[in-house]
Each structure stands twice: as structure tokens, then as C-alpha cells.
Amino acid sequence: MIENKIIFTGPVGVGKTTAIAALSDDPPVQTDASASDMTQVRKGYTTVAMDYGVIRLDENHKVHLYGTPGQERFDFMWGILSKGSMGLILLLDNTRANPFKDLQFFLTSFSDLIHDAPIVIGITKMDLSSQPGIESYQQYLAQHGLNVPVFEVDARSEDDVKQLVTAMLYSIDPGLRG
Ligand SMILES: Nc1nc2c(ncn2[C@@H]2O[C@H](COP(=O)(O)OP(=O)(O)OP(=O)(O)O)[C@@H](O)[C@H]2O)c(=O)[nH]1
Ligand SMILES: [Mg+2]
């Protein structure tokens, strides 16, 4: 049995929980709590520990998907979830004030993992805010010496999220079936 572990990270509300739910073959495990006391969270619920889902590509190939909490107050989970991870999917929310700042922040926070494992980036909510465009992200990454695939995704779309995971599996092992 080939088992891959991939983690999803990114800022609050970017769509980590939504993406894993859209993709998982089994009902996802979620640890969302009411966010009514958390002023920075503009939606009802926020992840406090992790998300978990699984996809079976074929009889002997499973991909385990873990989502981090977005809020920095739960960042102690980030290192725990990174352990043994074979790749990082970073989601960025195009409606946030400064997505490039978010990008820099997550590249720094996960620098140990990125040092050893591939990263794929998905930009969400481009239907709500079309700027910055994909090429701006690619330019920014190239300027920082990073050759990373960047996709426009809607976290609610199984196909969009699958595209990210497929790109990730190819980065991990070009011989793997997506
Ligand atoms: N319009 C639009 N909405 C989106 C898109 N992607 C995700 N969403 C919505 O954005 C919200 C994302 O919420 P979550 O999935 O809880 O976000 P999260 O990243 O898990 O947030 P935390 O756990 O708080 O860090 C949901 O309401 C989604 O329906 C998109 O591309 N366009
Ligand atoms: Mg969440």
C-alpha cells in the first residue's frame, strides 16, 4: 500500500476545511468550533485542531489529507501536522488585504517542510477578487527563487482541489498516478 500524507494550510477562511470536505472519499473529520468570540473570523466556524480526509486513488494507493487551523493562536498544531508530510498545499485568499504578505508568512512558517518537500499553491475567491492575478504570484515566487505551480481554485469545487492534489502527487513522484 502506497500512502501519501499531504497538508493544506493558509489563512483563516481561505477554504482549507471546505477543500478537504470537497475531496474526501469518506466523511471528513473536522474540529470546527463556533467563531462567535473570535473577531478576526468573519464566518461562523473555524478549525481549532485539524481537518482530515482521505482519497483512494486505486486499491493500493491512499492519500491522507490534513488541514491546519488558520488562526495563529492554534499554530502549535502546524509543526505536529507537518511531521511526515510529503508535501504542502498552500491556499491563499484573493479577497484578503495583502495576499503576498500571507504568502510570505506561510513560506516562513513552513520553511522546514518546504525545504524537504514540494509545495503547490492554490488561489481561492478569484471570483470575488480577480486581482492579484496568477502571473503576479508566479512572478513573486520566481523573484524569491521558487519554482512552484500556482492554480486558481474554488475550494468548493472537487475538480479544482483535485487538480492541486494531482500536481502535488506529480511533484512528489513523477511516476505516480494522479
Ligand atoms: N466565493 C467563493 N467562496 C469560496 C471559495 N473558496 C472557498 N469559499 C468559501 O470560503 C469559506 C471557507 O471557509 P473554511 O473552509 O471554513 O475556511 P478555513 O480555511 O478552513 O478557515 P479556518 O479553519 O478558520 O482557518 C467557505 O464559506 C467557502 O464556501 C471561492 O473560490 N469563492
Ligand atoms: Mg478550517
Residues in the chain with pLDDT < 70?
37-41, 176-178
Tell me, using a 6 A CB cutoff, whether residue 9 lines ligand 1: no
Residue whose Cα lies nearest atom 6 of ligand 1: it is: 155
pLDDT recorded at residue 39: 60
In the chain the domains, ranked by start, together with CATH numbers, are 2-172 (3.40.50.300)
Q: Atom 14 in ligand 1: which residue has the minimum CA distance?
A: 15
Is residue 177 within 6 Å of ligand 1 at its C-beta? no
* Backbone φ, ψ for residue 65 (5° rounding): -115, 125
Helix orientation angle between 158-172 and 16-23, rounded to the nearest 10 degrees: 90
The residue whose CB lies within 8 Å of the most ligand 1 atoms, and thus the one to mutate among 7, 16, 68, is 16
Comparing C-alpha atoms, which of 146, 145, 147, 103 is closest to residue 124?
103
pLDDT score of 175: 74
Report field, pTM of the whole predicted structure over 0.75 = yes
